[in-house]
Structure formats: C-alpha cells, structure tokens
Amino acid sequence: MLAQAVVIAVGTLALIVTAFLVAPGLFHWHLTHAGEADPQVLKHAEEAFASTFAIAVLAGTVLALAAAGIVSWVLVRRISRPVEDLARAAEAVAGGEYRVKVPAATFARELTGLSQSFADMADRLAETEANRTKLLADLAHELRTPLATLEAYIDGLEDDVVEPVPQSWTTMRSQVARLRRLAGDLRDVADAEEHALGMTFTMLDANDVVAGAVTAATPRYLAKGVGLIGTRASEPCTIRGDAVRLQQVLANLLENALRHTPEGGRVTVGVVENAGRVLLVVSDNGEGIPPGELPFVFDRFHRADPARVSADGSGSGLGLTIARAIVADHGGALTARSPGPGLGAEFTVDLPGPS
C-alpha cells in the first residue's frame, strides 16, 4: 500500500507541476485565438479552469488512493496468508512436530511450489524421524540378547559358576562377533539408504557376478550340508553395476537362504535375461515365508519368527535391507516370493540391461 501511495503521489505531483506550468498558458492562448479579448472574461475563464482542474486532480488522487488501498489489501491478504501458514508450519517443524498440515497456496505458481516443497520436506522429516525412532528401538532390542549373554558369562566366570572351558570362550566370541557384524551392517544400511556407498559402476557380466558369489559362499554351505548350485545364462548378460556391491547383495541373499534351509536342502542361484532386463534369482527349498510376512521381509531387523536368532553372529537382521537399497541404487528392484511355509522362497534381483 505504501509503495502504491508513493507511486500515486509522484504521478499526481508530476501532473500538477506540468499542468500549472503548461495548461494555463495553453488555455489563455486558445481563448485569445478564439477572438475573446475581454480581460474579465479571460480572467473568469482561467479561474474556472484552474478550480475545475484542481478539483479533478484531487478527486482522481483520492479515487486512485482508495483503489490502490483496496487492491493492496486484497493482494497482501492473499500473499500473507500462505506465508503466515508456512511460518507457523516452520515453527512447528523447528519444535519437532513434523506431521504439520501446510495449506496449498493458490495465489501464484511460486507460492504454490514453495508450499508443496515445504509439505514434501515435512513429510520426509516425519518419515526420517519415524525410521530413526524405530531403528533405535529395534537396535536396543537386538543389542539386549548378546549383551545379556556376555554379562551372564562374565558374571559366571567371576563367581566360578561357569567353567573357563573352550565352549564358554566360543560362546562369548560368537556374541562379540554378532555385535561386530551388527555394527558393520548398521553402518552399511545407513550409507545405503542415504545413497552414500560411493559405488563405482562398470560394465559387468552377470554370470561372473553369480559365479563369484557362489565360490565365496560354498564353504559355509558345505559346513552345514546344504547344496549350492550356480547356473549361467547361455549368453553373456551385460549389466552396469558395482561388482563389489552386487557381490554383497548376492552374499546377503545366499546367507539368508542358508539360514532358512535345513541340512540336506538345496539353494540355486542363476541368471536370466528377460526383455532387456537381467534377473539374478536365488531360490531355496527351505522353510519358506508366510504370506503375511512377505511385505515386511526387507524391513530392518524383521524376522518371521522373533524367537529364532542366529547364535553365531551371522545374522543381524539387516542383510535384506542393505541388499534392497544397493539394488535400488543400481536402478533395479529386489523382490521376494514364496508359496508358503515349508515350500521354499525365491528372491529376484531385477536389474536393467545395458542401455
């Protein structure tokens, strides 16, 4: 309103100055050229012109200021309302309340974009906070068992209740290994979900990736008595990816399959090319997955049976979460399928072929 008033005042002043400098002389010139020579008539006409002009300028200025005031009030209200809403939402977010409602601004494209971006940011912060809270709760739960085991053994050794035999040291070392694995996997899952793994992409043959993963996992499979079969596609299947991280994905999938396949079972991993996509498929004939658990198998620390926890430190409950994040960074998808309990499971890494 102040800015428009200044513009109107400047315009009015310029009009008055110009009019008083130019208009009287022109009006007098026109009267004399019209044949009017009576001084009284000329004086009266010029006074009438001056008063009429002054009234017109005053009325125009007043109307212009009134119109400017109304327009300014409407514009300011339409602009300030969404800004005030955003300010209140920002205060709420700063106070830790991320589930805020940000009304959509419809006044201008810029304000609409700003409101939408702020709403998206608040939603992301709310999701991050929820994940952080859940992660801390899950982590506290996961740490409780190995720490309790170590504490019990240490107290038992101090009180001579537990004998310092090799089995006792083995058990404690397994719990330390579990804690070490959990710490490493937590770092990996955090980096993976923040897309901060620093991967180096090159052109790879998926057959070689699978062969390397099978070779690395074979000793553990032999130790448990589970068969591991790796198959190759008939032709090279080129993908663009990070060889180390894709090996990590398959290692996590093979470890998960080994954990849920009993002795005498079989796990198969192979490569399939389908419509320009390259599929790495890990299937087993082990315990299978209940239908209600399938949507959650990639969640952090998820276990279909919470009572089943690996005692050797080999499973942190984060392997599938890490694998899914790595595959997503490759532009692919990791999916799970199972006919049901006792009927095995199949995990598929769906990667784009070379463009």
110 located within any domain: no
Across the strands, what pairs with 205?
238
Mean per-residue pLDDT, 54-77? 81
Of 52, 67, 94, at which residue does a domain stop? 94
Comparing 19 with 124, which gets the higher pLDDT? 124
- Please determine, for residue 226, whether its predicted confidence score (pLDDT) is greater than 80: yes
CATH number at residue 264: 3.30.565.10
% of residues, the chain, pLDDT over 70: 90
pLDDT tens across 306-353, in order? Answer: 444 444 444 557 788 888 988 998 999 999 999 989 899 999 999 998
251 located within any domain: yes
168 located within any domain: no
If you average pLDDT over every residue of the chain, what do you get?
82
- 3-state percent helix, strand, coil for the chain, nearest multiple of 5: 60, 10, 25
213 and 84 part of one domain: no
Q: How high is the pLDDT of residue 224?
A: 92
185 located within any domain: no
CB 145 within 8 A of CB 129: no
193 located within any domain: no
Comparing 331 with 183, which gets the higher pLDDT? 331
Query: Domain total for the chain?
Result: 2
Closest to 330 in 3D by CA, of 233, 214, 195, 213: 195
Of 94, 112, 142, at which residue does a domain stop? 94
51 located within any domain: yes
Q: How high is the pLDDT of residue 293?
A: 87
89 located within any domain: yes
Structural domain of residue 41, as residue ranges? 2-94
Q: What is the DSSP annotation of 192-213?
A: HHTT-S----EEEEHHHHHHHH
Q: How high is the pLDDT of residue 118?
A: 83
237 located within any domain: yes
Comparing 5 with 227, which gets the higher pLDDT? 227
User: pLDDT band at 97, cuts 50/70/90?
Assistant: confident
77 and 218 part of one domain: no
Output the CA torsion sign for 197, 203, 206, 208: negative
Vertex 172 angle, CA 171 and 177, to 5°: 100
pLDDT tens across 17-36, in order? Answer: 777 777 777 777 777 777 76
Of 69, 94, 119, at which residue does a domain stop? 94
Residues 6+ apart with CB under 8 A from 288: 338, 339, 340, 341, 342, 343, 344, 345
Q: How high is the pLDDT of residue 349?
A: 94
Q: What are the structure tokens assigned to 294, written together?
A: 């399938």
- Please determine, for residue 284, whether its predicted confidence score (pLDDT) is greater than 90: yes
Across the strands, what pairs with 241?
202
Burial class (CB in 10 A: 0-12, 13-18, 19+), 161: exposed
Residues 6+ apart with CB under 8 A from 241: 199, 201, 202, 204, 209, 330, 351
Q: How high is the pLDDT of residue 345?
A: 94
% of residues, the chain, pLDDT over 90: 23
